Chain A
Amino acid sequence: MTELSFRPVETAQDVEKTSRPSLSYWQDAWLRLVANKRAMTSLFVIIFLILFAYLGPLVWRADHTEQHLDKTSQAPWVNRNAILIAEEAEWEDVVVADPTGTHQAPMSVEVIGEARTTSVGLKWDAVPNAAGYRIYRHILEPKAGFPLGLPIGETEDRTHVSFQDRMDIQQKTYWYSVAAVDEDGKDFEEFTSVEVRPRLYITVGEALRLGYITDASKVEPGDTVLLDWHPLGTDYLGRDMLARLMKGAQVSLSIGIVAPLLFIIIGILIGSVAGFFGGAVDSALMRFTDFVIALPFLLFMILFMVWFGIEAGGSGIPAMVVALVLLSWPGVARLVRGEVLQIREHGYVEASRLLGGSNSWLIGRHMIPNTMGVVLVSFTFAVPATIFTEAFLSFIGMGVVPPTPSWGAMCNDGIRTMEKTPHELLFPALFISITVLAFNLLGDGLRDALDARLRSRE
């Protein structure tokens, strides 16, 4: 009898396998999140925004501080084909005979030749008894009783009835008003206006200086050159909006991410200590938390911003982060304490203690890692809230200090010119909205993925 005879019968049968690879909590959450289309789209939007803020300036190299007073509040779709002209011809004053009659304002004002962005020439008929004339320029149609706009020039003789405007003229509609002035330099009550829409021109000298052309002998007057592109237009000081939005994204996103990170860390520390030790420590910490929660948030944000003061040339960003951290940690502390109170009762904590785990080991190894789910969710919701607060404070002028751009501060600038050039408000507002929306949707997705109890029903 050999050993082989007693070989056991093959008993293994083809059992159906129903198990799947074991997944950790975080792997499981990640799979759920990836399956959530809305959350994933939001995640990509957020990544795009971060790239926009930090890599954008490397691609779009326009300087966000450079002012161009000749193209303020320029819309993105403005015409950029400038017609070249040689230097502006010498201006010849129009002189007429001494006028007669009783009229108080010129009968008519007209443009000499073509209105160009390089110069606008005006002439009018003389007014009797006038000592001279004052010329105004306005972007709104002038009405009696309202300011006529910017006084751009004066003439000192009633027979000299012309004026050349060469100051920062842009391609938009202007109303030039001419009013006669008396000997004391006071305007007569009546005035005459003319509506002018200059065409875009550039002198050869200017084009050379700005580098649009390299050789003056190769171009002729009448050629067109393509001026600098501002894809999102310019703001009220002629600064490039795209460059400012990128810089503003850095400011808004860094405040929006750094401040929540810091106050969440503080909240975790206080919350876990309170929840873990319980008793007197817990009630002392939680009473303090209640107090801080009761502080009127916005009033104290403003007080703190003033308290920390902003040194000359500072941006106000550190002050805002500190103020946000000081006022925002209690929410997280409460949340973490609640979680820790539950975790404390679990068997594995007791087991770890029996094996000799110290308090700091228990907190660091068991409590805090197990609260990470809710903490991560509250972080994603804290980011948009903080971005809102930053925008809001900058909007009322208590936030970052000009000229530091932030989306809120840019909205504040844009509101002044909102009726004429809505793009200055629209773009920063759009960026705030998209960012806030993306973080909110990602937060929803994370909550669904991480926390079975809070899973929203939709």
Chain B
Amino acid sequence: MPRYIGMRLLQGIFTVWFIATATFWVMHSIPGDPLESEKAMSPEIRANLEAKYGLDKNEFIQYWIFLGNMVRGDFGWSFEHENRRVNDIIAEQFPVSATLGILAIVFAGLGGVLWGALTALYRNKWPDVLIIILVILGISVPSFVFATVGQLGIVTLNKIAGIDVPVAGWGTVWHMLIPALVLGLGTMAFLTRLMRTSMLEIVNADYIRTARSKGVPIAQIFSRHQLRNAILPVLTVLGPSIAGITTGGFVVENVFGIPGLGKYFVTAVQQSDYGVIMGTTVFYGAFLVLMVIIVDLLYAVVDPRVRLNK
């Protein structure tokens, strides 16, 4: 097990290096540079600024410096926000995105398991049909539509019930709930479907028949045997779903005016703010790689049949 974890981490480090390299070279081949958008400046000032940010050096040397700094966990300075370190920007924005994302994953996971189990329990009766229709909606309606409709929903609710749930922004729990729910909806629909299929497969398993013939109460069969085994396939896709949820985060952050990393990234690309782009991408990439490793390990803990040797 420790050997396996070591291997995976080593692989992860190589992956992060690849992400960093790809980002660096793609970004440096984008036409225009971060100093271009500034007001007209004399060649001397420009030269000074280039020296300050290290843009005067050969690109390979820049790449080397960038890698060295990255190993030390330093992503350098932002070009557009004077005197702000990229590390500070990430430290400030990332927790917001992460809170939103984790909350969304929790919604999606719990909802998916719950609805999926319900559909299997009421197979082909009205709760099943209703949930399946909702699932189809959830899979085929784009997240930005949910986000807008969700926002409109809050506005209407506020008007009718005379309460004051915040429509946009960030800060309290109320700011988080609706955006996280919206963000998790697509994944929830997907997980519900997966859970339903795996529940139906397990109903026919031998050990269920055995348990039933032994006279184990239905509720116990459901919770101990069916649910527990059906959750396994759901867990495997949780890792990739995290990536999907971070994607959706861009839109939800935009629509609800949440000051997360996604919103920041789009602006940074438009201003070719090298520091922020590289920092954000490498950080995000590393985060995703780590998440996938953690989910894989968790899977082995939950399912004793999985051996982590090779």
Contacts and interface: CB of A to CB of B under 8 A. Distances in A.
Contact of A294 (B23, B29, B142, B289): B289
A418 B201 CA distance: 44
B280 A436 contact: no
B281 interface: yes
B19 interface: yes
A457 interface: yes
Given A298-B250, A302-B265, A306-B269, A433 B141 contact: yes
Given A388-B142, A411-B144, A307 B152 contact: no
B143 A436 contact: no
Contacts of A290: 11, 15
Nearest to A422: B152
A62 interface: no
A201 interface: no
Contact of A304 (B26, B266, B277): B26
B266 A302 contact: yes
Contacts of B139: 436-437, 440
Interface string A278-303: 00000000000011001111111011
Contact of B18 (A294, A304, A396, A440): A294
Contact of A298 (B22, B136, B247): B247
A440 B243 contact: no
Contacts of A433: 137, 140-142, 145
Interface string A187-214: 0000000000000000000000000000
Contact of B30 (A306, A392, A411, A419): A306
A396 B73 CA distance: 30
Interface string B254-288: 11000000000110011010000100110011001
Contacts of B26: 300, 303-304, 307
B229 interface: no
B87 interface: no
B17 to A, nearest CB: 9
Contacts of B289: 294
A242 to B, nearest CB: 20
B152 A419 contact: yes
A395 interface: yes
B18 A291 contact: yes
Interface residues of A, number: 40
B142 A391 contact: yes
A297 B250 CA distance: 12
Interface in A361-408: 384, 388, 391-392, 395-398, 408
A453 to B, nearest CB: 13
Nearest to A395: B144
A299 B254 contact: no
Interface string B9-50: 001001100110011001101110000000000000000000
Nearest to A299: B281
A303 B30 CA distance: 8
Contacts of B243: 296-297
A432 interface: yes
Nearest to A432: B142
Contacts of B152: 418-419
A237 interface: no
A69 B182 CA distance: 35
A296 B285 CA distance: 6
Contacts of A397: 266
Contacts of A418: 148, 152
A299 B15 CA distance: 16
Interface in A6-20: none
A21 to B, nearest CB: 33
A411 B142 contact: yes
Contacts of B270: 306
B197 interface: yes
A402 to B, nearest CB: 15
Contacts of A307: 26-27, 29-30
Contact of B140 (A299, A408, A440): A440
Given A297-B243, A306-B30, A307-B26, A415 B265 contact: no
Nearest to B137: A433
A84 B144 CA distance: 43
A311 to B, nearest CB: 11
A429 B18 contact: no
B100 interface: no
B30 A294 contact: no
A425 interface: yes
B15 A294 contact: yes
A411 B281 contact: no
A434 to B, nearest CB: 8
Count chain A CB atoms within 10 A of each CB in B139, B140, B265 and give the residue with the most: B140
A221 interface: no
Contacts of B255: 415
Interface string A415-458: 10011000001000100111011001000000000000000111
Interface string B48-84: 0000000000000000000000000000000000000
Given A418-B152, A429-B142, A440-B139, A294 B285 contact: yes
B247 A297 contact: yes
A440 B11 CA distance: 34
Contact of B27 (A303, A388, A411, A432): A303
Nearest to B16: A294
A457 B145 CA distance: 31
A396 B251 contact: yes
B60 to A, nearest CB: 19
Nearest to A302: B269
Contacts of B144: 391-392, 395, 411-412, 415
B281 A392 contact: no
A314 interface: no
B246 interface: yes
Given A302-B269, A425-B145, A395 B23 contact: no
Contact of A429 (B30, B145, B269): B145
Interface of A: 290-291, 294-300, 302-304, 306-307, 309, 384, 388, 391-392, 395-398, 408, 411-412, 415, 418-419, 425, 429, 432-434, 436-437, 440, 456-458
What 10 A-B pairs have minimum CB-CB distances, sorted nearest first?
A: A437-B140, A291-B18, A436-B140, A294-B15, A433-B140, A298-B247, A429-B145, A296-B284, A433-B141, A395-B144
15 contacts: A294-B15, A294-B18, A294-B19, A295-B18, A296-B288, A299-B285, A304-B26, A392-B251, A408-B142, A411-B142, A415-B255, A419-B152, A429-B142, A437-B140, A457-B200
Interface of B: 11, 14-15, 18-19, 22-23, 26-27, 29-31, 136-137, 139-145, 148, 152, 197, 200-201, 243, 246-247, 250-251, 254-255, 265-266, 269-270, 272, 277, 280-281, 284-285, 288-289
